[in-house]
Amino acid sequence: MKAHPTAYERNAPDPALVERSLQDSRPAVFWLEDAGAVPAYAPLTAPTRADLTVVGGGYLGLWAAVQAKRRNPGQRVVLLEAQSLGWAASGRNGGFCEASITHGEENGRARWPDEYDDLDRLGRENLDGFERDVKDLALDCQWERTGTLAVAVEEHQLEWLADAPHQLTAAEVRAEIDSPLFLAGALSPDDCALVHPARLALELGRVAVDLGVEIHEASRVTAVRTPRRGATTVHTDRSVVTTDRVVLATNVFRPLLRRNRFMTVPVYDYVLMTEPLSAEQMSAIGWRGRQGLTDLANQFHYSRLTADNRILYGGYDAVYPPGGRVEQRHEERPQSHATLASHFLATFPQLADLRFTHRWAGAIDTCTRFTAFYGLARRGRIAYAAGFTGLGVGATRFAADVLLDLLSGESTPRTELQLVRQRPLPSSGRA
């Protein structure tokens, strides 16, 4: 035990309870299993032509394809995905769709003090626009505009709540979500919605196809060539797309541009999912507002309910894998899942009988400024964004519009932002 044990350590449950809670869990992503029928899109096997080629079938690539078609329905858009739509971060995240496009107010104000008010407004407009799209495009992604509840679990965290607009005392917090660890809290009723992450990715795929986007899975892009004279070509293992413009939406995976080689590093984040709670278990914790729950610890936890009243519990450990690569073997880390289970049971001792059914992990797309960076390359033919640092569910929708603005060559309020024009320092860790 450390010199100053945390609240979770001081209230740690019997290790036998932790072991029991995990014994039936499987190493599998709940969301991907729960997403329902998944259409398969054929690989690219024959050369083709496009006005816009999007590389990557996570949220960023999908939004870019959808928005491109909505802007100009006549253009030909091809999306190439190395594996399957939404298998990576987009299908395995916590599903907190936050208004912030700056990884929170503190980070945003510290880095862009002069334009923070605009960034805050643009982020809120993006979340409201997202909600409109969920309705207009009939995105069946279990959208719930619940807001968040941030809780203090240590005395020293109380002062961090001092400026929060909707402060709650310990009794008020516990009336929302009951845990003996919660000392106080703050509600942000309007800044966040919860989604089913994998369903969101699949639904964006469906909408993209409805709009005429050609999607190819199992089509890893190996190179993008932009000769001074002649057309841009995007190469997969088996074929090639000749294209006018390219969006690179490959997130934390090996970048296709040399200049981005050292810009992001994967940091593994671990997640547990419980079995569905019974009516008695639900009434033992409350959570009638169904808010996204976070604590104020430096190594924070995040937690939420699913549509069938399971609890997702993730965060705390942030593990940089040796070699700095995204590899499946980093997803099994028994000590991280055991730590999470222990912290969960310390938080909710009234749920001591609850079992976890799924355990998984994913690579957080970390960059040095903690929020995405943007750019144009190769004489304006390629646009890219990456580095959402664990807050990309909402911000990728905003980023997709930035990339399309940049490719259009026009100056827009988005392209003029320092947030868009400045490149962060590289990270040093990637192999």
Our finding on whether 398 is near ligand FAD (CB under 6 A) is no
Which of 338, 395 has the CB closer to ligand FAD?
Answer: 395
Q: How far apart are CA 55 and CA 79, in angstroms?
A: 6
Cα-Cα-Cα-Cα dihedral sign, residues 116, 120, 122, 123 = positive
Q: Determine which residue in the list 13, 57, 108, 324 makes contact with ligand FAD, applying CB under 6 A.
A: 57
Q: Determine which residue in the list 45, 72, 83, 411 makes contact with ligand FAD, applying CB under 6 A.
A: 83
Our finding on whether 387 is near ligand FAD (CB under 6 A) is no
Our finding on whether 366 is near ligand FAD (CB under 6 A) is no
Binding to ligand FAD in span 201-240, by CB under 6 A? 220-221
Binding to ligand FAD in span 132-171, by CB under 6 A? none
Size of the site for ligand FAD (CB under 6 A): 42
Q: Determine which residue in the list 147, 185, 321, 392 makes contact with ligand FAD, applying CB under 6 A.
A: 392
Our finding on whether 78 is near ligand FAD (CB under 6 A) is no
Which of 58, 321 has the CB closer to ligand FAD?
Answer: 58
**Judged by CB under 6 A, which stretch of 75-83, 144-152, 206-214, 346-354 contacts ligand FAD?**
75-83
Which of 76, 92 has the CB closer to ligand FAD?
Answer: 92
Our finding on whether 88 is near ligand FAD (CB under 6 A) is yes
Check: CB of residue 340 under 8 Å from CB of residue 334.
Answer: no
Q: How far apart are CA 414 and CA 123, in angstroms?
A: 11
Q: Determine which residue in the list 69, 76, 92, 358 makes contact with ligand FAD, applying CB under 6 A.
A: 92
Our finding on whether 388 is near ligand FAD (CB under 6 A) is yes
We find the least distance from the C-beta atom of residue 139 to ligand FAD, in angstroms, to be: 15
Q: How far apart are CA 263 and CA 249, in angstroms?
A: 14
Our finding on whether 266 is near ligand FAD (CB under 6 A) is no
Our finding on whether 123 is near ligand FAD (CB under 6 A) is no
Tell me which residues touch ligand FAD (CB under 6 A): 55-61, 80-83, 87-90, 92-96, 98, 220-221, 249-251, 253, 256, 269, 271, 314, 362-365, 388, 390-394, 396
